[in-house]
Amino acid sequence: MTAYRSTPAHLGQLPKLHVYIDETGDRGFSSQSIRQSPFFAMTALLVPGEDEWMIKTTAGGLRALIHDERPEDLLKPLHWVKHFRAKHPERRQRAARALAMLPNAQVIHVIADKSTLGQDYGLSLDGSIFYNYTARLLLERVALTAKHWPGGPRLVVTRLGAVKHMDHGESLAYLSRIRDGLISGQTWNVPWDHIKWPPTWEATSRDGIQLADIHAGMLHCALAGDPASAECARHLLMCKHQLRRSAGGTVMGYGVKVIGRERFVTSRTWYRDWVTKP
């Protein structure tokens, strides 16, 4: 069993910030995998505790829309790749509108350009290391967001979507070593204690993970589309006001982190619109 420090008592009294995380793309580095999925990304949806009811009503409403003709399926989880295919543009539009209406939510994406991650990074050698490193960069930004949340600091309750063929006990062990400073020089000024420890990996039955999956799906469509076209990012852009920003309004490094070549994201026609403050 992994040993880790408990959350300091005084931080345990802070208002809660619920964070739901899911991933998109492929962690493989074979030539075929890179051709089929040139990126891997993890997305976090952050919602203050007092708005948690909106997560439930939003997910429940979308399930009712999707399963309208099969009411016996109303409790079946939503999946972007299954329920929001390109042949259902109206579903994508309604899902984006529903997510955009969450008033106090914030979103953070960590995106890896696999074509530029050579063996010198070490990430291309092991899919688990790649996943754990991406999760670490995402959780660092989650912790910083919680400390500086509008209205005062928060304590994060983190739930990640469980991933097939991943040892999440190993993931927790790695993240705990980072959090506890056991890997020298790896966690500068990150307020890890603002994340209730340990985070948990859960099935997609959790409403918030279903909504994080939709956010990740919209990102996937944008990144998999024609870089010269903004149409592929239409639904992603509907939620751009939720991107985490610095005090000066900067998105890159805050609400969007790129592992590898930043131009993989910044060279796209829709990027400037995405990061421009509404």
pLDDT value at residue 101 = 98
Quick one: which of 154, 147, 152, 158 has its CA closest to 15?
Answer: 154
pLDDT value at residue 138 = 98
Q: Which residues in the chain land under pLDDT 70?
A: 1-3, 118-121, 184-187
Q: Contacts for 168-174 with beta carbons within 8 Å, 24 or more apart?
A: 168/201, 169/2, 170/128, 170/132, 171/128, 171/131, 171/132, 171/135, 171/201, 172/2, 172/4, 172/198, 172/199, 173/2, 174/132, 174/136
pLDDT value at residue 183 = 78
pLDDT value at residue 125 = 74
Domain residue spans of the chain: 9-48+105-202+215-275
pLDDT tens, residue by residue, 185-222: 666 789 999 999 999 999 999 999 999 999 999 999 99
pLDDT value at residue 115 = 85
**Helix, strand, or coil here: 257?**
strand
DSSP 243: B
Counting every residue written for the chain, the total comes to: 278
